[in-house]
Structure 1
Amino acid sequence: MSVTLMAAALALPAASSAGSAGLTPAPAGTRAMWLWGDPPAAEVVDWATRRNVSEIFVHVSPDVFTNGDLARIQEMKARATPLKIKLRALGGDPAWVTDHAAALRWQRTVVSTGLFSGIHLDVEPYLTPAWTTNLAGTQTAFLKLLDKLRLGSTLPLEADVPFWYGEYKIGGKNFADEVLRRVNAVTVMSYRDTATGPNSIVAISQDWLTRGRAAGKRVRLGAETVPLPDCAHCTFAEEGATRLQEELAKVDAATRTASAFGGIAIHRYGTWRALPS
């Protein structure tokens, strides 16, 4: 679908970029993972080490200082750092599209812990009713949110994105490009259970990889392990761990000439660990 909408483009400076000429594909086997919930730190870091995970997107509650979870994340940081595993603070709520104050409060909390090497934003504006009733306004509000979060700390800002943002326009500009301009990197929710070919992980990510190269921004590809009854071809829940490993190796091979390729992120730790062999 191609949607052209008129909305005022924001004119703040873009997030820093390495420049497309300086990008090279991430080494084969580069992995990250989303971590929701509160599994033991030692268990998580051990799994990450054995699966070559170099970045963990750790969900951080807005009330992390009062809910008792800070100690677990501190332990995770202490265990991960000697192993060169980075922790990125994962957070997001569709309500943040318009409630920027809540998002900024969360960001300040994250920064004050001193535990994270970046912000990993999971805000999906298309889950709000306004995406249907006021698309241009919702897109503009989301871009303003990214602007505020980028300026709100010195930590690199990354965002989860669907593969189809490039099909939309905002103020005569491509929406995916406008998102890229405001972040340091993106992770594409390229949820398919085949690596290459029609409707595969690589195929549906090509638009972002091309835009990332032009913008000089890293583009991670995502793989799903959560059971999805309504979209069996979107997840490896049925195929299992061996098939996941085989297909992700094919993704690595297929992206050797994609300079923006930043590795693969697996969603999510709990269901990944529980996959049948």
Structure 2
Amino acid sequence: MSAILMAAALALPAASSAGGAGLTPAPAGTRAMWLWGDQPAAEVVEWAKQRKVSEIFVHVMPDVLTNGDLERLQEMKARAVPLKIKLRALGGDPAWLTDPAAALAWQRAVVTTGVFSGIHLDVEPYVTPGWTTNLTGTQTAFLKLLDKLRTGSTLPLEADVPFWYGEYKYGRANFADEVLRRVNAVTVMSYRDFATGPNSMTAVSQDWLARGKAAGKRVRLGAETEALPDCGHCTFAEESATRMHQELTKVDAAMRSSAAFAGIAVHRYGTWRALRP
């Protein structure tokens, strides 16, 4: 990447924010969840109501306007609005790094549905070969994708992020900071099955929380319920729903003085529902 292109990228205006001084921690018990499946709207919204979920990241296929799923999404909105539950369109494909036009087409379809109050992006550039073979180029592609989606609609843009982005530089800047400049909020994949202490949900999220406070951006923590054979301590899949609730309550308590804290998102609806009591 040339110095001129690097400078141009770093000079882009940031997504709007409330400003660091205006941030206050989310109330205890603030919850969101990812919904990757096509479960019935009534079932999903009722579960969200029972679990006091105030935001649902609803996966939307690129062909949503023609694949027959729009009616379910419209019903979900009709059921969610009276309960003050927000629906965010969830989408992401590593291929969007090299095909941003596909991402913009997806975003246009999302806007056309009239269902969603925001975009929730789950693109993981680090799973592509380029993260190893061409790190700067891959980072640049991701940041440009965020730029295009941010300006592609008036809907606020949020992104899922690993907790370790702050370990990477981007030119003279920090990669995590550059991501934050381009989005309205982030959800950290702080996947651990304990709330506090070394290598816990709160511990691995501290870097993002500090950066979020400085940037005036909201930072939500993530909890995993899907089985992860290679990382048992990263998920509540082998734990009970009661224990997860206890640990997430501890996260709420530990975050009372963290201004950027936006609550906790649970990944994901189907496996959360399947946890033993």
TM over 0.5: yes
Alignment of 1:204-215 (within 5 A): 204-215=204-215
Name the CA distance, whole Å, in 2 between partners of 1:211 and 1:12. Answer: 18
Alignment of 1:192-203 (within 5 A): 192-203=192-203
- 1:275 and 2:254 correspond: no
Which amino acid letter does the alignment assign opposite residue 124 of structure 2?
A: E
SS in 2 for 1:87: strand
Which amino acid letter does the alignment assign opposite residue 16 of structure 1?
A: S
Name the CA distance, whole Å, in 2 between partners of 1:115 and 1:49. Answer: 18
Please name the residue that 1:69 is paired with: 69
Please name the residue that 1:187 is paired with: 187
Alignment of 1:7-156 (within 5 A): 8-9=6-7, 10=9, 11-156=11-156
What is the total number of aligned residue pairs between the two structures?
Answer: 273
Structure 1, unmatched stretches of 5+, are 1-5
Name the CA distance, whole Å, in 2 between partners of 1:125 and 1:97. Answer: 7
Q: Give TM-score scaled by structure 1 length.
A: 0.97
Name the CA distance, whole Å, in 2 between partners of 1:102 and 1:62. Answer: 8
Name the CA distance, whole Å, in 1 between partners of 2:189 and 2:99. Answer: 24
SS in 2 for 1:8: helix
Structure 1 segments (4+ residues) deviating >3 Å? none
SS in 1 for 2:6: coil
Which amino acid letter does the alignment assign opposite residue 181 of structure 2?
A: R
How far is the alpha carbon of 1:12 from its aligned partner? 1.6
Name the CA distance, whole Å, in 2 between partners of 1:53 and 1:86. Answer: 9
How far is the alpha carbon of 1:8 from its aligned partner? 1.2
How far is the alpha carbon of 1:45 from its aligned partner? 0.2
Q: Give TM-score scaled by structure 2 length.
A: 0.97
Which amino acid letter does the alignment assign opposite residue 168 of structure 2?
A: Y
How far is the alpha carbon of 1:66 from its aligned partner? 1.3
Cα distance per residue 1:132-173 (max 9 Å; x no partner): 100000001100000110000000000000000000001110
Cα distance per residue 1:119-140 (max 9 Å; x no partner): 0000000011111100000001
Residues 98 and 142, structure 1, Cα contact 8 Å, conserved in 2:
no
Which amino acid letter does the alignment assign opposite residue 83 of structure 2?
A: L
Please name the residue that 1:3 is paired with: none
Name the CA distance, whole Å, in 2 between partners of 1:226 and 1:240. Answer: 13
Which amino acid letter does the alignment assign opposite residue 43 of structure 1?
A: E
Please name the residue that 1:172 is paired with: 172
SS in 2 for 1:126: helix
SS in 2 for 1:226: coil
How far is the alpha carbon of 1:67 from its aligned partner? 1.1
How far is the alpha carbon of 1:174 from its aligned partner? 0.2
Name the CA distance, whole Å, in 1 between partners of 2:205 and 2:30. Answer: 17
Which amino acid letter does the alignment assign opposite residue 38 of structure 2?
A: D
Structure 2, unmatched stretches of 5+, are none
Which amino acid letter does the alignment assign opposite residue 255 of structure 2?
A: T
Please name the residue that 2:218 is paired with: 218
How far is the alpha carbon of 1:98 from its aligned partner? 1.7
Report % sequence identity. Answer: 82
Which amino acid letter does the alignment assign opposite residue 169 of structure 2?
A: K
Cα distance per residue 1:16-45 (max 9 Å; x no partner): 010000000000000000001100000000
Which amino acid letter does the alignment assign opposite residue 211 of structure 1?
A: R
